[in-house]
Amino acid sequence: MFDRLWNKRLSLHILLVNLGSILLPLIIFCVCLLSTFYQNIYQRTKTECETLLNEYVKNIEAHVQELFFFDFSYGNNAKVTSLMSRQLNDGVISYADNKAIDIVNLFFYTNSKAKSYLVSSYFYYPNDQGYFFSSIDGVKRLDEYYDNDWLPEWETRRNDSWCVPRSMNQFGYTINFISLYHQLKNNVLFVHNINLNYLKNTYLNLRMSQNQQIVMIHQQYGLILSSLDEKGEEACAAIQSMQSGNQIMLDNQRYYVFSKESSLLNVVFHVIIPPRDIFQYLGDVRDLQYIFVVLIIVFVFILSAFHLYRELCGVNEIVQLFERAKKNESIQPTAKKRIPMEYRYIIDHILTHFIEKNYLIERAHAYKYRYDSMKLVALQSQINPHFIFNVLESINWSIIEQTKKPIAANAMIGDLSALLRISLTNPNEMISMAEEIENAKRYIRLQNAHYQNQIAFKWKVDSDSKNVSVMKMTLQPLIENCLLHGFQVSREDAQINLVIYTVESKTHIIVRDNGVGIEQKKLEDLRRFLTDMPDNSYTHIGLANLYGRLNVIYNQQATMQIDSLPGHGTTVHLSFPRQ
């Protein structure tokens, strides 16, 4: 019976192959689709982040420009500057000056108060006493002021404008700010302290998504401001150590980083955003995606099952065919319509081959039977040759004893034993043509003696052919054929002509008799018989046998041609390669 396990295995195999062949392209397709999708969303997020950063930079730089504008309007005004520098240098001023200073002072104070992002502003002009002007406290001596570490910074680095993150303690709590230094051409320095808390509250709360964070990093002083509170330093370090690409790890969480530099402030703004925020919009799409995948898998399974069913039908049909054939039952194919084309084709061919095989087996049995029976006959007829020759010898001498000298009978015994000797040795042996002709003559002598008639035997052999080698018993079947079929009725003028010649490396033997000849139809049958060699005929077996042996020895190079005219005789023309 067809192995169940094998069946299961085959099913699994077909299922896997089908699944693989359909699922694999689908998966590749989905992956490509999703990757473009993700890419697109990423690009969009990047653009959004960059827009946001631009917004920050623009806004903050707008404040700075505003302050610069103020600086320019005061610092480049000669009256104001001379007034201020006089006060800072001398400390002594006239009343009129005092009035003007009050006004300037008021403006200064108003400006710093009106701009909510400003903590304070300082005005400084280099002087010996170390005076400067504060928008909150008016003219002060630097060494007596609570916030006094800003000037050395300027001394070390005179530049147009720059900013430094600073902090100061006032009334018990710390204020963080950045000081924006602005030095004009006439050596006037403005310092604006910008409140970081204000910036943080105003700008850093502007977010696109929940987990998006903003980090402001000064190129020289490091972290200035971040929306991350206590994790700010960590994020800053991660961003600064970022080698390439735009990703950092923070708290085991991956973040994309998008950056924008403000050249005015030497500050870089970074937006960090985790991937899940970027792709949160995909949430809905992702659900659809899962449904889609499930649907595909279900579809593929159904398709595979259908294929499986068809293939199993075909395979089972073949297997059953084999089983039936094994049991020698009828092997008619069932007329199932579900069997696929290719299996139908295979089944048809298997059937053809089975039928052929059975036919061949039958033939082989028949041959074996015939071979066995022939072997039996051969065994039965196998008498020790020594015995035969010794008996013939005894007969030979008995005759001589009677007649006192050899007579025709002794010659007959001699011819007979010579022919016997030939037929007892290897029939495919090669002998010279002269010997073969001698044997043919013996055969004819015996035949003539036996039938008591005189068939004239004439032979013409060209000098060239006497030495050629020829297969043993080549002439005898030809002559036998003449005697059997040509001269069944005894005749006075019976004659057999034998012509042997060799031209162009082929030896030709022509045996011509003047017997009864062969009718046209029989002749055609005979010719067909020689080429086809069917095994169910028993006439002219000698000629067919001879032709077959010659073709084996001469490798299909022998030809045999039979011509006959009824009433006039028959000619057999044999040719084979000269050897």
Partner 1 sequence: MHKILIADDDERITKGLSTFFPWEKFGFTVVGMVKNGKEAIDFIHQHDVDVLICDIRMPDGNGFDVAQRLKDENRNIKVVFVTAYRDFSYAKRAIDLGVCGFITKPTQFNEIENVIKRLYDPPEKSGSVSGEEQRISRIVEYINRNLANVCLSDLALYLDMNPQYLSRYFRQEMHINFSDYLLKQRMEKAAFLLQNTTLKGYQISEYVGYANVQDFSRVFKKYYSLSPRDFRHGKTPNV
Nearer to partner 1, 3 or 429 (CB): 429
Amino acid in position 450: H
- Binding to partner 1 by residue 414, rule CB under 8 A? yes
| Adjacency order of strands within the sheet including 222-226 | 222-226, 213-218, 267-273, 253-262, 247-250
Q: How many CB atoms lie within 10 A of CB 495?
A: 18
Total residues binding partner 1 (CB under 8 A): 38
- Binding to partner 1 by residue 501, rule CB under 8 A? yes
Residues 448, 459: Cα–Cα separation, whole Å: 16
Residue with tokens 């094994």: 326
Print the binding letters for residues 366-385 with partner 1: x by CB under 8 A, - otherwise.
-------------------x
Stretch near partner 1 under the rule CB under 8 A, chosen from 316-324, 329-337, 355-363, 404-412? 404-412
Residue with tokens 């060699």: 533
Stretch near partner 1 under the rule CB under 8 A, chosen from 51-59, 240-248, 501-509, 549-557? 501-509
**Cα Rg of the chain, angstroms:** 63
Site for partner 1 in 137-156 (CB under 8 A): none
- Binding to partner 1 by residue 411, rule CB under 8 A? yes
Least Cβ distance, residue 574 to partner 1 (angstroms)? 13
- Binding to partner 1 by residue 324, rule CB under 8 A? no
Print the binding letters for residues 104-133 with partner 1: x by CB under 8 A, - otherwise.
------------------------------
Least Cβ distance, residue 534 to partner 1 (angstroms)? 31
Least Cβ distance, residue 406 to partner 1 (angstroms)? 5
Nearer to partner 1, 305 or 446 (CB): 446
Residue 535 makes CB contacts below 8 A (sequence gap 6+) with none
Least Cβ distance, residue 405 to partner 1 (angstroms)? 7
- Binding to partner 1 by residue 429, rule CB under 8 A? no
Residues 282, 45: Cα–Cα separation, whole Å: 12
Kindly tell me the sign of the dihedral angle through the C-alpha atoms of 153, 157, 160, 161: negative
Closest CA to 216 of 201, 200, 202: 200
Closest CA to 120 of 140, 134, 100: 134
- Binding to partner 1 by residue 464, rule CB under 8 A? yes
Stretch near partner 1 under the rule CB under 8 A, chosen from 295-303, 364-372, 408-416, 514-522? 408-416
Tokens of 212: 């998006």
Amino acid in position 441: K
- Binding to partner 1 by residue 438, rule CB under 8 A? no
CB 124 within 8 A of CB 87: no
Tokens of 399: 């005759």
- Binding to partner 1 by residue 400, rule CB under 8 A? yes
Least Cβ distance, residue 495 to partner 1 (angstroms)? 14
Contacts 24+ apart (CB under 8 A), 37-44: 37/282, 37/285, 38/279, 38/282, 41/278, 41/279, 41/281, 41/282, 42/256, 42/278
Residues 12, 6: Cα–Cα separation, whole Å: 10
- Binding to partner 1 by residue 24, rule CB under 8 A? no
Residues 362, 328: Cα–Cα separation, whole Å: 14
Of the candidate residues 120, 226, 262, 396, the single one contacting partner 1 (CB under 8 A): 396
Q: What is the dihedral of CA 387, 391, 396, 400, to 10 degrees?
A: 130
Stretch near partner 1 under the rule CB under 8 A, chosen from 124-132, 159-167, 302-310, 498-506? 498-506
Least Cβ distance, residue 510 to partner 1 (angstroms)? 7
Nearer to partner 1, 270 or 442 (CB): 442
Of the candidate residues 9, 157, 368, 421, the single one contacting partner 1 (CB under 8 A): 421
Stretch near partner 1 under the rule CB under 8 A, chosen from 38-46, 147-155, 410-418, 477-485? 410-418
Closest CA to 437 of 545, 493, 511: 511
CB 422 within 8 A of CB 473: yes
Nearer to partner 1, 344 or 573 (CB): 573
- Binding to partner 1 by residue 404, rule CB under 8 A? yes
Of the candidate residues 142, 305, 325, 413, the single one contacting partner 1 (CB under 8 A): 413
Print the binding letters for residues 182-221 with partner 1: x by CB under 8 A, - otherwise.
----------------------------------------
- Binding to partner 1 by residue 397, rule CB under 8 A? yes
Q: What is the dihedral of CA 373, 376, 381, 383, to 10 degrees?
A: 160
- Binding to partner 1 by residue 240, rule CB under 8 A? no
Residue 305 makes CB contacts below 8 A (sequence gap 6+) with 15
Residue with tokens 């710093």: 112
Tokens of 128: 């010996």
List interacting residues with partner 1 (CB under 8 A). Answer: 385-386, 388-390, 392-398, 400-401, 404-406, 410-411, 413-414, 417, 421, 425, 460, 462-464, 467, 499, 501-505, 508, 510, 578
